[in-house]
């Protein structure tokens, strides 16, 4: 097959999030949920990958692989442990992460929020509270020393659409179930307002390019079900894409596709390959997500901020990623402005409700020693990144 070269300056990287890798995030809403008497999470996050202490090792792996950028998130519950009470030490920790990246020649890409919020924020109404956007703005202003300089990419909020849907995740809904729960529209509104406030603040610093990242599901209508599909997608995806209008970039996160029939989303058909999250193995998902976004918010540059596969078979990870990159390249060839590609995830980490079983990592992590072991797929992806080309 012919060699596929990506545009000059295309960003390559790997992604993580604070709660999924740091460990010991006892002061956020997820820790509370994991330990509630009626917890529907499979297991608690515990020490995770101990990345709160081992981040220099993680950054060194990114550098060594030749993946030029590391996407990680700030843990709000550490930085503002109580309402209005800020920790300079926690803020310094994240600035050290940025500095560690810079020293290693790795470009930092920082999310201000990736699902978790401090307990006090959650208990005070979370994203539905009247002053939610003010509180997020106050936090954003406090982290200026972390991200205003030397961080070219700032994501305000990761997957607001999934946060809005997670709110209605009932105890009997497991990952791999059919479709997404209906979003809580008040949460969606709160997240949207918080995003716009944060964009304004980050813009005022004059440094980073700012956007947010939306989970796309490659909705595929059965014949005659186009309207039903659009109605299903609107509150779960489309409205969040539209809110990126005018932003510096829009993050696209894609893993699988969802067929929609007359009665809503359909389960994965019998005999079709699925991953450890129960999702259809569908590498083209990212290409579909890019095309959907380019149609819905024309003119906003796109950045693939997450794409990957939960599998115990690393050769399947390589094959999936190659297929995904082909679909990204095809989108670029068709004139879509794609700035880069981040693989989810750098590490095997805490997959929320599903615990540690779904392994998304390019790098394995021993759950008792925290030893990192680079997988062959990681070396392969590093080679693609160094060449800025596939094949």
Q: How far is the CB of 14 from ligand BGC (least distance, A)?
A: 13
Length of the chain: 391
Q: Which of residues 166-205 bind ligand BGC (CB under 6 A)?
A: none
Spatial contact of 288 and 252, defined as CB atoms under 8 Å apart: no
Among 22, 184, 243, 306, the residue binding ligand BGC under the rule CB under 6 A is 306
Calculate the CA 176 to chain-centre distance: 18
Look at residue 162 and give its three-state secondary structure. helix
Residue placing its CB nearer to ligand BGC in the complex, 229 or 256? 256
What's the closest the beta carbon of residue 180 comes to ligand BGC, in angstroms? Answer: 10
CB neighbours (10 Å) of residue 334? Answer: 11
The 10 Å CB-count burial string (b at 16+, else e) for 130-167 is eebbebbbbbbebbeebbbeebebbbbbbbbbbbbbbb
Is residue 351 part of the contact set for ligand BGC (CB under 6 A)? yes
String of contacts with ligand BGC for each residue 236-255, x by CB under 6 A: -----------------x--
Nearer to ligand BGC, 108 or 308 (CB): 308
Whole-angstrom Cα distance, residue 27 to residue 341?
32
β-bridge mates for residue 372, sequence order: 365
Query: Which one of 45, 73, 156, 158 is in contact with ligand BGC (CB under 6 A)?
Result: 158
Q: For residue 216, state whether it binds ligand BGC (rule: CB under 6 A).
A: no
Candidates 162, 199, 332, 338: give the one binding ligand BGC (CB under 6 A).
162
Torsions phi, psi for 121 (to 5 deg): -70, -45
CB of 344 to ligand BGC, least distance (A): 5
Give me the least distance between CB of 372 and ligand BGC, in Å please.
18
276 scored as a contact of ligand BGC (CB under 6 A): no
Q: Which residues make Cβ contacts (< 8 Å) with residue 391, sequence separation at least 6?
A: 1, 2, 3, 4
In the stretch 6-45, what mask flags binding to ligand BGC with x, by CB under 6 A?
A: -----------x--x-------------------------
CA dihedral 340, 322, 268, 187 (to 10 degrees): -10
Question: Is the CB of residue 77 less than 8 Å from the CB of residue 118?
Answer: yes
Residue nearest to ligand BGC (CB): 159
Tell me how far, at minimum, the Cβ of 229 lies from ligand BGC, in Å: 21
Could you tell me which of 273, 274, 264, 307 has the C-alpha nearest to residue 288? 307
Backbone angles phi, psi at 71, to 5 degrees: -100, 120
The secondary structure of residue 181, as a DSSP letter, is P
Residue 344 lies near ligand BGC (rule: CB under 6 A): yes
Indicate whether 159 belongs to the interface with ligand BGC (CB under 6 A). yes
To the nearest whole angstrom, how small is the minimum distance from the Cβ of residue 89 to ligand BGC? Answer: 26
Q: Which residues bind ligand BGC (CB under 6 A)?
A: 17, 20, 158-159, 162, 215, 253, 306, 344, 351, 360
């Amino acid at each position: 097959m012919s060699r596929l070269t990506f545009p000059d300056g295309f960003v390559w990287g790997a992604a993580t999030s604070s709660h999924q890798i740091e460990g010991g995030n006892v002061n956020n809403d997820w820790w509370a949920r994991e330990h509630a008497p009626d917890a529907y999470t499979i297991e608690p996050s515990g020490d995770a990958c101990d990345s709160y202490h081992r981040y220099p090792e993680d950054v060194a792996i990114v550098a060594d692989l030749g993946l030029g950028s590391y996407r990680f998130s700030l843990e709000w519950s550490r930085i503002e442990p109580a309402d209005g009470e800020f920790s300079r030490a926690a803020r310094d920790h994240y600035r050290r992460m940025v500095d560690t990246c810079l020293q290693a020649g790795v470009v930092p890409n920082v999310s201000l929020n990736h699902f978790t919020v401090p307990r006090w924020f959650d208990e005070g109404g979370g994203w539905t509270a009247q002053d939610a956007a003010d509180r997020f703005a106050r936090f954003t202003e406090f982290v200026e020393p972390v991200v205003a300089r030397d961080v070219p990419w700032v994501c305000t909020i990761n997957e607001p659409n999934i946060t809005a849907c997670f709110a209605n995740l009932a105890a009997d809904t497991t990952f791999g179930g059919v479709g997404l729960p209906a979003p809580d529209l008040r949460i969606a509104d709160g997240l949207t307002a918080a995003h716009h406030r944060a964009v304004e603040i980050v813009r005022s610093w004059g440094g980073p390019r700012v956007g947010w990242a939306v989970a796309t599901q490659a909705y595929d209508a059965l014949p005659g079900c186009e309207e039903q599909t659009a109605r299903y997608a609107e509150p779960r995806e489309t409205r969040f894409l539209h809110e990126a209008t005018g932003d510096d970039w829009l993050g696209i996160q894609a893993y699988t596709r969802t067929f929609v029939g007359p009665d809503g989303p359909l389960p994965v058909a019998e005999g079709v390959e699925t991953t450890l999250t129960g999702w259809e193995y569908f590498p083209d998902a990212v290409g579909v997500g890019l095309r959907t976004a380019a149609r819905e918010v024309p003119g906003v540059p796109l950045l693939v901020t997450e794409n990957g596969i939960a599998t115990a078979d690393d050769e399947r990870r390589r094959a999936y990623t190659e297929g995904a990159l082909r679909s990204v390249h095809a989108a670029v060839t068709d004139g879509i402005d794609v700035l880069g590609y981040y693989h989810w995830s750098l590490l095997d980490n805490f997959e929320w409700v599903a615990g540690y079983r779904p392994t998304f990592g390019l790098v394995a992590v021993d759950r008792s020693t925290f030893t990192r072991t680079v997988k062959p797929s990681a070396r392969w992806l590093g080679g693609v990144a160094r060449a800025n080309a596939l094949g």
